[in-house]
Structure 1
Amino acid sequence: MPSRQIYRPYKGPSGGWGSARSVGNILRREGNPASAGLALTRQNKVDGFQCVSCAWIKPATPLPFEFCENGAKATAWEITSHRCTPEFFKDHTVTELLTWDDYHLEQAGRLTHPMRYDGDQDKYIPVSWGRAIEEIAAELLAVKDPKNVVFYSSGRSSNEVSYIYGLFARLYGNNNLPDSSNMCHETTSVALPHSIGVPVGTVTLEDFAKTECILFFGQNAGSNSPRILHPLQEARRRGVPIITYNPLRERGLERFTNPQSPQEMLTGEETTISSSYNQVRIGGDLAALTGVCKALIELDEQKRQAHEAAILDWEFIKEHCHGFESFIQWLSRQNWLTIERESGLRREALTATAVTYSSAKTAIAVYGMGLTQHRAGVETVRMLANLLLLKGNIGKTGAGICPVRGHSNVQGQRTVGITEKPELVPLKRLAEQYSFEPPSEKGLDTIEACEAILDGKIRAFVMLGGNFARAVPDRVRMEKAWRHMNLTINIATKLNRSQLLPGKISYILPVLGRTEIDKTSKGPQSLSMEDTSGCIHGNRGVRTPASPHLISETRLIAELAKATLSENSKVPWGKWMEDYSLIREAISKTYPDIFHDYESRMWEPGGFQRPLSARHRQWDTDTGKANFVTPTSLGEDRDLPDPGCDVFRLMTLRSNDQFNTTIYGYTDRFRGIHQTRDIVFMNPVDIERLNFSKGDQVELRTVARDGIERRHGDLTIIPYDIPIGCLGAYYPEANNLLPLEHYAIGSHTPAAKSIPVTIHKTGGRRMIV
């Protein structure tokens, strides 16, 4: 029996002293608490650097400490005093490093030198920048078909480097530009243009300050974007109802003590965030939203029959909307018993949401990957838009839809051309600007790139940030296939698992981080990023680079492009790598409606917002109006059975000590998990029904039709407040259970929030729980 107890329920609020201690711990662990603390005072400030963590809205008037617990961890992680030098790689083979966990790999510190894999030694060895760029260019030129090369990017890179990276790929000959958005909010990018004519949210911080109701779906604010808790707290203090739908009761959506408030920290004062908390069944959001819409229609009919004021905004619907009649007819055919079964919620709860929503003049709907990473994700997001349209809650102050983007510039890189979809890029303007014929064939998204790698079709993979092989579905199959590529290029700041799966030729190319001063022959350079509200902000690094051998992402991409591509006098790679304002000038010519006066506007307090037609009730849709979209069914996935049988719905989760695939530690404070990630959350009713006990060691197995065996074992059962028939396990460890073919219909976003699995006792020893 092990001596440590891995589960101790957490009774405190989100924020508070727990957050302060957690930040202090990571600052000390990374070895520079004083200098890191000073750097944090410049985070998310007008003349400072943008957070390297989430993309939450940057205010025009920031707080003295405009960062959250996770943002502070991300900064400490980047400005760590630890270094991953050539001596480190001399001491460790790749085979050995593959046995390390994610935390200890990245804890080796900042990469300091370019490295090339030596297969004979099974080690990475130092290489000069010149040789690395020369050999990579030669290998890219040797690929016979440009379509066999993938240019991936994470959401970390700036607008400037994203623009020239996308141009590099298209000049090379393809639109193979998958990015991290494919794995999270591609569903949003597909759903919203048809509904309201824009691919992003319509909400600003001003709207949060003026709204009368907030609907919150599938987003763990306390762990993933804690700064959102500030406007939520302010709204609750004004008496604004916040109605939450989420399978697990997350502490950040229950109670919050503001670490920025001395009074709250001294007194322990807490704010109740959710006025109503509905634990929807995994995959049940579409049915739940259907129920709320149906109840709202019924309430409106009752009011009109009583000759009272209508609840629906009939004037808005008549003037601005299309498809209303078909949608209403469909709603009338939906049975309440089916809605209750699919959602896991009672009719009374859904009607209560409708009643609260009906009494508010304005409302905001906030959501995260709890809606997007489902088979029915696209229809679910459109149903949320339907709910807002019923009361005219798009295009007026205090109202709108707010998808919370998970990475700090994943939205911005899409704005400047990182996409596999050529129709989303002004190809004609690029052709005129740079005198070439851009490829018009659709490129590979993340799922398609994975399929091509498994099929042996990809010769080279360029990874601009991120940890692709660790983040994608079907991890075991993907890791095996990854090694069969001829060339893998890892542009990174830290060591991660993807770099330890070298192709025939593999490079680790270390670059500057966002917090670091980027100085060229033209002086210190600035960058820009876009937040989740569509506002573009300037970024200036404040720290001395971690190593004199680092170069910027901008210089690296420009150097690779220069070495690889034919001479083109219209593309000034050399000038761009020295003066980033020239890149912004080029961006403004490609996207004049968005980026006019780019150089000055990005330094405005609060940034400048890209044009969002839906905010002005101008609908760039096929009908010229906002569209009510009728779903095809209420079910998440016909392959998923009802609760109570032996097949469960598994959702992957991030911990409080994590950002995407980056693991800051092995404590999930809010869920009470300590020093492990090998757990599965399970309802006590299911534990008893299957004759399990808390602390039992179990294995999860995917239920899939492709005949491939997928297992995730040595997991400890933790009894938890999660709906019956549902399970939770940590991402990315549980990614092996997610088949590539299990994705959102219409968007190819991996459906990681609802994986059909069975659970099996392994006979291992019981842990103390």
Structure 2
Amino acid sequence: MSVDGLSDDDNTVHSDQPSGGWGSVGSMARIMGEERPSPAVLNTLRRQNKPGGFMCVSCAWGKPAKPHTFEFCENGAKATIWELTSRRCTPDFFAEHTVSELKGWKDYDLEQQGRLTHPMRYDRATDRYVPCGWDEAFTAIGSELRGIAPDQTVFYSSGRASLETSYLYALFARLYGHNNLPDSSNMCHETTSVALKKLIGSPVGTCVLDDFESCNAIFFFGQNTGSNSPRLLHPLQDAVKRGVKIVTFNPVREKGLESFRNPQSPLEMLTGKETQISTLYFQLKAGGDIAAITGLIKHVLAAEEQRQAEAGTPVIDPDFIARHTVGFEEMKARVDAVAWEDIERESGLTRGELKQAADIYIEADRSIAMYGMGLTQQVHGSENLAALVNLWLLKGNIGRDGTGISPVRGHSNVQGQRTVGISEKPELVPLDRLAGQFGFEPPRTEGLNTVKACEKILSGEVRAFIGLGGNFVRAIPERDRMEKAWTGMRLTVQVATKLNRSHLINGEVAFLLPCLGRSEEDLQASGAQAVTMEDSLSCIHGSLGNNTPASPDLKSEVAIVAGMAKATLPPNPKVTWDGWVADYRRIRASIEETYPDQFHRFNERVFTPGGFYRGNPARERIWKTESGKAHFTPPGKLRAVGFDDAPGRWRLITMRSNDQFNTTIYGYSDRLRGIEGTRDVLLMHPDDIVAAGLREGQVVGLASDAGDGVDRRVGGLTVTPFRLPRGCIGSYYPEMNPLIPLWYHDEASKTPAAKGVPVRIVPDMPAIGRA
């Protein structure tokens, strides 16, 4: 589908390449040349995402029991090469550069210094990091934590830490006395955890890999497969070849859902043959998904009435609706009352276009819904998911083979961390079982999620922050205000593999602790250790690193968590930190004791081909909701963004490039969008450029139009014509985070609403607000 008449030969920047193909191979080769990893990287890539091998640190897509010859994608390969770089960030580097100087460096340049090699302590007098011993660091951290009230402390974790590390980290927090355990899910799929739990009783998706082999249709909403989860393109290509129709709703045309050339197919690589992925591709307005899905439901209900009148047979599944759901009649009445003019205005799509998509849904016996942060990162993101659940329940497309709802997660273990206790919500954790297991009384007060933690850092109520991986300060909204408040904390600790901006924003006492990468050999007292993680499809996989560590002074994340905990907490004979570090099988045994239903025979099943499935009640049509059934929800609004349209106000979509994973920037090539050599762009529809009195190539800035009186600005952006819906503009994450108010988030989950930010364009604004 075109956007406002734009054709493939218009003057917008775009890529004529399919996803995959020689472009993907060339991109991996470029990163290989820049990072210069050891030859061992080839063996690691050969083992990547395979039974008994190494599990990728990039996306969380499932790993098949029978893998391809190469079971890694372009971004997965980049992540591995990036981890196994030959570059080293040593104490000599920190002796040469002050922290204040490094704050002016770009994200890419910081990480290009390579792997951190030694534990470092921030010396405020010289404004430099200086080397320190591990015992010195643990002792100082423990002493500081003992002097700070637990409820004034935050333990953050990115989504890459293993199940073993995450379990111990959560236990450490609760033994210390708090549930302040925000994680990266708070910033992306917390909307999923909240909305799906309420609607179908499961906080995660309901699909497994086999479902993609028996479905008839797949619907995508707000997800960029080509850059964020390219391994998903293999099952999509297979599905298309057997006749599955794929329908995509996304404000941005993403190549991964347009066409794919399989790099593992000699025929496709030699002949240039490619597979068209989407049967229909609709560029709706940012925040227009509720309206679009409501339109689909109206078409389905109209088809139901017509077919019943003509043939007496249903389109929907009345038996499923009667036995397994509540709220159908209320939902239907509300949808019937919605006017088509409102749906077309809010979605940016026509009634006829929505009928095309609805007809595919009606004709398909088994459909899968997939979505990303285009749905979750909206002020009314939970309503997005409620509308999607409404549509899927109509035909009983949850709880049957070949059906289901499948959020596409980012970090490789972000879902698994929640499974083993990383949660600020005490009701989601078996606290009574932990109490009996470890002989203590866990805190029962709800902890701080990301937004609440940031609010209390701003107010000065949080005195200590420990970051288990990630780049928290760079990833959060309201970056400028947060960085100023950050230095008011007493203690900041960052566990990391490479240098990033969060390590330069320090409290009074600060430590930078380097850890092993997942691809590296983890040798402890009992020998080489495996770790585990959970994919987006609720399967648990073992991972065994086999590369020489980047430095002999590195410790594993497990050992670092245990070291901090031992230095902080009083001895407890039931809490065996040294034993857990010596043998990770003991940690898995403890996880099994805490979660026996999901992790029975854990150690025996670590390397099950394809992972072992921990189960999902909603997939079995067991609805763990308040009513005991799945919930239809009457639509309350049609617009997911949290503001009205107004003259001069734009809907900003923040996006990631093809050369990026979350805040990690691998380079300056967004080849799947045709943007090279820069990230300082403002993407606009050509007609919007003219209407706004701008010109291609003009340098402009963006200013917040949130209406709260706070001056938020980012400058130095080059106006670039791009295929976007009118009124929508795009630019890169995390550079645009200073424009997002901390309070601008999904109402139910507090997930920052980065996919529909109200902004104004300020002509001729130089580069301000960005490092």
Q: Could you tell me which residue of structure 2 aligns to residue 732 of structure 1?
A: 734
Q: Could you tell me which residue of structure 2 aligns to residue 15 of structure 1?
A: 20
1:648 to 636, 647, 650: 650
Question: Is 1:214 matched with 2:218?
Answer: yes
Q: Could you tell me which residue of structure 1 aligns to residue 41 of structure 2?
A: 36
Normalised TM-score (structure 2): 0.97
Question: Is 1:320 matched with 2:309?
Answer: no
1:148 to 142, 147, 152: 152
Q: Structure 1 residue 35: deviation in Å?
A: 2.5
Q: Structure 1 residue 383: deviation in Å?
A: 1.1
2:390 to 383, 386, 394: 386
Q: Structure 1 residue 307: deviation in Å?
A: 2.3
How do 1:345-424 and structure 2 match up within 5 A? 345-424=349-428
Q: Could you tell me which residue of structure 2 aligns to residue 157 of structure 1?
A: 161
Q: Could you tell me which residue of structure 2 aligns to residue 564 of structure 1?
A: 568
1:694 to 668, 672, 696: 696
Q: Could you tell me which residue of structure 2 aligns to residue 502 of structure 1?
A: 506
Distance 1:582 1:463 in 2: 25
Distance 1:563 1:98 in 2: 31
Question: Is 1:115 matched with 2:115?
Answer: no
Describe the superposition over 1:406-437 as per-residue Cα deviations: whole angstroms up to 9, x where unpaired: 10000000000000000000011011111111
Distance 1:445 1:499 in 2: 21
Question: Is 1:511 matched with 2:515?
Answer: yes
Q: Structure 1 residue 667: deviation in Å?
A: 1.3
Q: Is the 8 A contact 1:83 1:112 kept in 2?
A: yes
Q: Could you tell me which residue of structure 1 aligns to residue 75 of structure 2?
A: 70
Q: Could you tell me which residue of structure 2 aligns to residue 198 of structure 1?
A: 202
Q: Secondary structure at the match of 2:405?
A: strand
Q: Is the 8 A contact 1:27 1:33 kept in 2?
A: no
Distance 1:652 1:174 in 2: 33
Question: Is 1:176 matched with 2:184?
Answer: no
% identical equivalent positions: 56
2:495 to 484, 491, 498: 491
Distance 1:491 1:763 in 2: 37
Distance 1:33 1:174 in 2: 43
1:223 to 215, 224, 227: 227
2:57 to 49, 52, 60: 52
2:130 to 125, 149, 152: 125
Q: Structure 1 residue 316: deviation in Å?
A: 0.7
CA gap 1:763/1:83 in 2 versus in 1, 3 angstroms: closer
One-letter identity of the residue aligned with 1:464: L
Q: Is the 8 A contact 2:540 2:606 kept in 1?
A: yes
Q: Structure 1 residue 309: deviation in Å?
A: 2.2
Q: Is the 8 A contact 1:696 1:764 kept in 2?
A: no
One-letter identity of the residue aligned with 1:220: N
Q: Secondary structure at the match of 1:757?
A: strand
Question: Is 1:82 matched with 2:52?
Answer: no
Q: Is the 8 A contact 1:323 1:629 kept in 2?
A: yes
Q: Secondary structure at the match of 1:736?
A: helix
Q: Is the 8 A contact 1:640 1:756 kept in 2?
A: no
One-letter identity of the residue aligned with 1:513: G
Q: Secondary structure at the match of 1:634?
A: coil
Q: Structure 1 residue 308: deviation in Å?
A: 4.2
Q: Is the 8 A contact 2:14 2:673 kept in 1?
A: yes
Q: Secondary structure at the match of 2:33?
A: helix
2:758 to 744, 756, 759: 756
Residue range with higher mean Cα deviation, 527-536 or 628-637: 628-637
Q: Could you tell me which residue of structure 1 aligns to residue 687 of structure 2?
A: 685
Distance 2:12 2:74 in 1: 22
Q: Could you tell me which residue of structure 2 aligns to residue 597 of structure 1?
A: 601
Distance 1:381 1:137 in 2: 43
Q: Structure 1 residue 38: deviation in Å?
A: 2.0
Distance 1:115 1:107 in 2: 18
Q: Is the 8 A contact 2:13 2:722 kept in 1?
A: no
Distance 1:100 1:621 in 2: 49
Q: Secondary structure at the match of 1:38?
A: helix
Describe the superposition over 1:349-382 as per-residue Cα deviations: whole angstroms up to 9, x where unpaired: 1111111100010000000001000011011112
Q: Is the 8 A contact 2:383 2:640 kept in 1?
A: no
1:459 to 456, 459, 463: 463
Normalised TM-score (structure 1): 0.97
Distance 1:349 1:616 in 2: 34
Describe the superposition over 1:23-62 as per-residue Cα deviations: whole angstroms up to 9, x where unpaired: 0111121112632222100110111111100000111111
Distance 1:745 1:525 in 2: 42
Q: Secondary structure at the match of 1:749?
A: coil
Q: Secondary structure at the match of 2:389?
A: helix
Q: Is the 8 A contact 2:715 2:765 kept in 1?
A: no
Describe the superposition over 1:375-399 as per-residue Cα deviations: whole angstroms up to 9, x where unpaired: 1101111211111100000000100
One-letter identity of the residue aligned with 1:138: S
Q: Could you tell me which residue of structure 1 aligns to residue 299 of structure 2?
A: 295
Question: Is 1:185 matched with 2:166?
Answer: no
Q: Could you tell me which residue of structure 2 aligns to residue 243 of structure 1?
A: 247
One-letter identity of the residue aligned with 1:170: R
One-letter identity of the residue aligned with 1:364: I
Q: Could you tell me which residue of structure 2 aligns to residue 623 of structure 1?
A: 627
One-letter identity of the residue aligned with 1:450: C
Q: Could you tell me which residue of structure 2 aligns to residue 334 of structure 1?
A: 338
Residue range with higher mean Cα deviation, 528-537 or 377-386: 377-386
Give the total of aligned pairs.
757
Distance 2:642 2:172 in 1: 42
- Name structure 1 gaps, 5 residues minimum: 1-5
One-letter identity of the residue aligned with 1:148: Q
Question: Is 1:440 matched with 2:450?
Answer: no
Q: Secondary structure at the match of 2:260?
A: strand
One-letter identity of the residue aligned with 1:689: A
One-letter identity of the residue aligned with 1:698: V
Q: Is the 8 A contact 1:196 1:620 kept in 2?
A: yes
Q: Could you tell me which residue of structure 1 aligns to residue 747 of structure 2?
A: 745
Q: Secondary structure at the match of 1:366?
A: strand
Q: Is the 8 A contact 1:27 1:36 kept in 2?
A: no
- Name structure 2 gaps, 5 residues minimum: 1-10
Q: Structure 1 residue 640: deviation in Å?
A: 2.8
Distance 1:721 1:7 in 2: 7
